[in-house]
């Protein structure tokens, strides 16, 4: 009888001890970084870095450092947030819808750009955000873009997710995380 009790105690002890040991290298938790500046706040994967953008309207940019274009130094996989002001000059007010439509009318007049989808989405507390998904051929490289347009504080914020077309779907989890953690301050 004592052998059975001793055996049970040993099995329970081994089970408890093995449950307390963990390998920190196999930690499934993803570290998260927060960036709050220029009137917005975003959260992004801890493996990503703050980045530069070619666009003058950019207020924040982050990129996956595993996908940097060695010839330009810019991220191939990135999220850029731009800020556009809704003008109200000489009695003509610009709406988010007007700005969105005019932007893509001009963009798609260039044959390098191909529309995939557009419509409305809800991003957190921001309902009726505009969305446009498209590809662009840049010197033989096809890039896929997802642009989310959100109005707030008399401005329009454009969250532009970009990746090479063949990498885009594998980055959706990161893009969705950043989009869903976007806040206007």
* Block residue for tokens 């959260």: 43
Position with higher pLDDT, 26 vs 36: 36
Per-residue DSSP letters for the chain? -HHHHHHHHHHHHHHHHHHH---GGG--PPPEEEEEETTEEEEEETT-EE---S-TTEEEEEE-TTSB-TTT--BSSEEEEEEEE--EETTEEPPHHHHHHHHHHHHTTSTTEEEEEEEEEEETTEEEEEEEEEEEEETTEEEEEEEEEEEETTEEEEEEEEEEHHHHGGGHHHHHHHHHT-EE-
Q: What percent of the chain has pLDDT over 70?
A: 81
pTM (two decimals): 0.80
The average confidence (pLDDT) of the chain is 83
pLDDT (0 to 100) of residue 54 = 82
Position with higher pLDDT, 13 vs 145: 145
Quick check: 65 and 78 in contact, CB under 8 A? Answer: no
C-alpha distance from residue 161 to each of 13, 122, 145, 149, 175 (Å): 50, 16, 6, 12, 6
Q: Is residue 22 exposed (0-12), middle (13-18) or buried (19+ Cβ within 10 Å)?
A: exposed
Confidence of residue 92 (pLDDT cuts 50, 70, 90): low
Please give the CATH number for the structural domain made up of 31-184. Answer: 3.40.1000.10
pLDDT (0 to 100) of residue 3 = 46
pLDDT (0 to 100) of residue 56 = 85
Cα dihedral 114, 119, 123, 129 sign: positive
């Amino acid at each position: 009888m004592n052998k059975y009790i001793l055996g049970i105690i040993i099995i329970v002890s081994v089970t408890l001890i093995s449950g307390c040991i963990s390998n920190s290298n196999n930690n499934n938790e993803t570290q998260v970084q927060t960036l709050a500046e220029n009137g917005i706040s975003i959260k992004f994967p801890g493996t990503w870095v703050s980045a530069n953008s070619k666009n003058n309207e950019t207020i924040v940019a982050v990129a996956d450092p595993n996908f940097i274009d060695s010839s330009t130094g810019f991220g191939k996989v990135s999220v850029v947030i731009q800020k556009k002001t809704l003008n109200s000059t000489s009695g003509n007010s610009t709406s988010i819808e007007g700005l969105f439509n005019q932007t893509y009318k001009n963009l798609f007049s260039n044959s390098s750009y191909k529309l995939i989808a557009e419509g409305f989405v809800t991003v957190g507390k921001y309902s009726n955000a505009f969305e446009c998904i498209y590809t662009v051929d840049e010197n033989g490289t096809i890039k896929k873009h997802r642009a989310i347009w959100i109005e707030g504080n008399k401005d329009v914020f454009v969250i532009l997710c970009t990746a090479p077309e063949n990498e885009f779907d594998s980055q959706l989890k990161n893009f969705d995380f950043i989009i869903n953690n976007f806040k206007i301050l």
